[in-house]
């Protein structure tokens, strides 16, 4: 509902952002809509890094944010080669934007490479973005993927090699970026990962106060 102008009822995601409010201004009629511009948290990593299991545990132990597993939004038509991949990113941000109007920042858990979110129209409604990159040793990553049920199709050498390359890429990227933190999950349980993620979120929230 946030994208619908309260005056002319036009649906526009590309509203003008006035930071003095902050206000979202309808580009058609000029109606100002005051809103909460909160930070966005993203927990990402390759397949097998522990994102899904950790997000379940994190949601149990933190109340200051809303934790969302992005897979709940996924539909087959969002596949990258279909041309709808960016709509998936916009969809995730649109949901996070509306949920955050309740006063709690959102944590999006799911594979995402910077700056995918930053390049979306909906990203302008957030004050900033913080990434927690879940990383594990490539041998451990391979072991985890080989253990998965056959129906998940994670066992082929081609898939595993692709995830190991992505794993290494994210680690290198996160090591050089101020808004990214790398968490080595090689020897951590899901509960231990969640506790580390909670500490990361608390540190950022306390710094921004």
CA distance 98 to 183: 29
Assign 132 to helix, strand or coil: strand
pTM above 0.85, yes or no: yes
CA-nearest of 201, 171, 194, 179 to 46 is 171
- Please, are residues 37 and 171 in contact by the beta-carbon 8 Å criterion? no
CA-nearest of 50, 56, 39, 44 to 133 is 44
**Which pLDDT score, from 0 to 100, does residue 6 have?**
92
Residues above pLDDT 70, as percent of the chain: 96
Instruction: For CATH 3.40.50.300, list the domain ranges present in the chain.
Output: 37-208
Q: Which fold has domain 37-208?
A: Rossmann fold (3.40.50)
Which residues have C-beta within 8 Å of that of residue 87, sequence separation ≥ 6? 78
- Which tens digit of pLDDT belongs to each residue from 59-99? 999 999 999 999 888 877 777 666 677 889 999 999 999 99
**Which pLDDT score, from 0 to 100, does residue 82 have?**
61
DSSP per-residue string spanning 16-79? EEETTTTEEE-TTT--EEE-----EEEEEE-TTSSHHHHHHHHHHH--SSEEEEGGGG--GGG-
Helices 157-174 + 138-147 axis angle, to 10:
140
Which range has the worst mean pLDDT, 27-36, 146-155, 190-199?
A: 146-155
**Which pLDDT score, from 0 to 100, does residue 75 have?**
76
């Amino acid at each position: 509902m946030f994208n619908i102008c309260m005056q002319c009822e036009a649906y526009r995601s590309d509203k003008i952002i006035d930071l003095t409010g902050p206000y979202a201004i309808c580009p058609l009629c000029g109606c100002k809509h005051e809103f909460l511009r909160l930070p966005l948290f993203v927990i990402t990593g390759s397949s097998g890094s522990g994102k899904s299991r950790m997000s379940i545990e994190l949601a149990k132990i933190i109340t200051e944010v809303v934790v969302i597993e992005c897979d709940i939004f996924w539909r087959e038509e969002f596949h990258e080669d279909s041309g709808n991949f960016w709509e998936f990113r916009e969809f995730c941000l649109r949901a996070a934007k509306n949920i955050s109007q309740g006063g709690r920042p959102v944590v999006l858990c799911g594979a995402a490479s910077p700056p995918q979110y930053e390049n979306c129209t909906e990203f302008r409604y957030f004050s900033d973005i913080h990434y927690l990159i879940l990383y594990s040793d490539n041998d451990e990553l391979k072991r985890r993927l080989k253990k998965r049920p056959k129906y998940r199709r994670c066992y082929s050498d081609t898939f595993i090699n692709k995830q190991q390359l992505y794993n290494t890429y994210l680690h290198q990227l996160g090591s050089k970026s101020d808004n990214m933190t790398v968490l080595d999950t090689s020897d951590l349980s899901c509960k231990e990962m969640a506790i580390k993620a909670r500490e990361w979120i608390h540190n950022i929230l306390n710094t921004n106060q």
